[in-house]
Amino acid sequence: MSFANKIQARSLSKGQTVVSLFIIGLLFFIFGFVSWINSILISYLKIGFELSNFKAYLVAFAFYISYFVMSVPSSYLLKSIGFKKGMMIGFCTMAAGAFIFVPAALSRTYEVFLLALFTLGAGLAILQTAANPYITVLGPENRAAQRISIMGICNKGAGILAPLLFAAVILKTTDGELFRQLPSMDSAAKNMALTMLIRRVIIPYTCVGFVLLGLGFLVKYSPLPEIDTEHETEAVAIANVTKTNIFQFPHLILGAIAIFLHVGTQVIAIDTIIGYALSMHIPLLDAKIFPSYTLMATICGYTLGIIAIPKLISQVSALKLCTVLGIIFTLLIIFSNGQVKFLGHIADVSIWFVVLLGFANSLVWAGIWPLALKGLGRFTKIGGSIMIMGLCGNAILPLFYGYLADTYTLRLAYWVLLPCYTYLVFYAFYGHRVRRWAV
């Protein structure tokens, strides 16, 4: 695509910016709906396939490892065909993943489900590679965290709805009794019951597939403008004159590691909380609400960010505060004890600190992105793809959690979060300022 057909972000009119924000907000809603449904899908498939904790978290692994595989190819795809056509391809790839749920359910084959999840994730990787740099450069730099917070509300709002809608469509009020009877059933009866349980996903995922196809064509023909990231301002061009590859930007590489650890902590906080609630003898039909509590805590953090950044607090200071809170809440999860009744649930108090991790995580993503992409100029697209590669943390860290949960306890498995938040504190206070590798 020629430079003449692209628009510099700073040249967009107010109307173009509002329309662009609305469309990208819709994308982030879809990201959230498809991603955070995994929080209940993990427990659902764990029952349906009688899986260990480690094997159940292969759901998250298959979904998010596609980010590592697809992010760099996505950047070259976007560079070749532009943001809008790339987004359409991303939606079509996601639709293919949704349709693969049908043969997976009909054959009741866990590996085919993992293939479907990988394909969904691959399409989402293309969309994320386009949308995150797009929203970062779509306006003043010191308000990037504010814009990302707005997108985060769209994302996490969808995440609140996703497990509840999934449960409403897939689960029945009689399932509690079914789950209690499964261990005492003979092999044939159990196999039939689990097959019927798994096949409940066919209709909803078929509908999701067609919706994703429609959204792909909607974005392709939308008024969303192309943003030029290949041509640098004079100051950035002078600063980058000696730069030949992306690895000459330490703050970006350190930022990608930070994203890797951040998204891992976020998915652990959301995708493990149902299992943690079940360990406290809370029924699945009641436990399904806990991911929504965590996401609501995240939305509260986003809302404060939108109000306070940059008028009352800088995006760097917000990042510092949230990373420190992550360490505090992790220690409280591990060491706090005692039964409490809150929001109608009787549970150990530690589960509410898992919920509060949602608040601690809220402004970390929004804080890291503008710091990591600062000054990249013509390297922005490849830089964005390196950042998106970091999303494979969603795939890796839950497996560590699952292994520790099988080896020790679900509570002690949350120790995996402590080194993650420690590194995030390092990046917030120092790492983002590194501009050259020490010799």
For residues 203-230, average pLDDT: 80
pLDDT at 4: 37
Q: Which residue has the higher pLDDT, 109 or 144?
A: 109
What's the pLDDT at 79?
76
H-type helices in 171-231, by residue range?
175-181, 187-198, 202-220
List for the chain the helix, strand, coil content (%; round to 5).
Answer: 80, 0, 20
pLDDT of residue 391: 82
| pLDDT score of 129 more than 80 | no
Q: Is 393 left (phi over 0), alpha (psi -120 to 50) or beta?
A: alpha
199 pLDDT tier (thresholds 50, 70, 90): very high
pLDDT value of residue 413? 96
Assign residue 108 a region (left: φ > 0; alpha: ψ between -120 and 50; beta: otherwise): left
Average pLDDT over residues 226-245: 58
Rounded to whole angstroms, how far apart are CA atoms 213 and 209? 6
| Among the listed residues 19, 374, 386, the one whose alpha carbon sits nearest the alpha carbon of residue 223 | 19
Of residues 243 and 71, more confidence is placed in 71
**Which whole number is the average pLDDT over 325-354?**
94
- Residue 385 predicted with pLDDT over 70: yes
State the sign of the Cα–Cα–Cα–Cα dihedral 21, 220, 118, 159: positive
Q: Mean pLDDT, to the nearest integer, of 7-36?
A: 71
pLDDT digits (tens, 9 = 90+) for 34-47: 877 877 788 889 88
- pLDDT band, very low/low/confident/very high, at 7 (cuts 50, 70, 90): very low
Nearest C-alpha neighbor of 425 from the set 343, 333, 294, 323: 323
Q: What percent of the chain has pLDDT over 90?
A: 36
Reply yes or no on whether the pLDDT at 405 is more than 50: yes
At 14, the pLDDT band (50, 70, 90 cuts) reads low
Residue 362 has pLDDT above 70, yes or no: yes
Q: Is the pTM of this model over 0.85?
A: no
- 276 vs 81, 341, 347, 410, CA distance in Å? 45, 16, 10, 6
pLDDT, position 271 = 85
Q: Give the pLDDT mean for 64-82.
A: 81
**186: pLDDT strictly greater than 80:** yes
Name the more confident of 134 and 1. Answer: 134
Question: What tens digit of pLDDT does each residue of 277-302 get?
Answer: 999 988 887 888 898 899 899 989 98
- Answer whether residue 8 shows pLDDT above 90: no
Q: What is the pLDDT of residue 366?
A: 82
pLDDT at 237 over 60: no
Residue 229, pLDDT score: 56
The radius of gyration computed from the CA coordinates of the chain, to the nearest angstrom, equals 22
d(CA 107, CA 104): 5
Q: Which carries the bigger pLDDT value, residue 76 or residue 372?
A: 372
Q: What is the mean pLDDT of the chain?
A: 84
Torsion of CA 262, 263, 264, 265, to 10 degrees: 60
Q: Lowest mean pLDDT: which of 106-115, 268-277, 301-310?
A: 301-310
Q: Is the pLDDT score of 320 beyond 90?
A: yes
Domains of the chain by start residue, with CATH: 12-433 (1.20.1250.20)
Residue 268 has pLDDT above 90, yes or no: yes
Which residues face 340 on adjacent strands?
A: 347
Q: What percent of the chain has pLDDT over 70?
A: 89
Q: Which residues contact 266 (CB under 8 A, 6 or more apart)?
A: 357, 361, 364, 365, 394
| pLDDT (0 to 100) of residue 1 | 37
Counting every residue written for the chain, the total comes to 439
Per-residue pLDDT, 104: 94
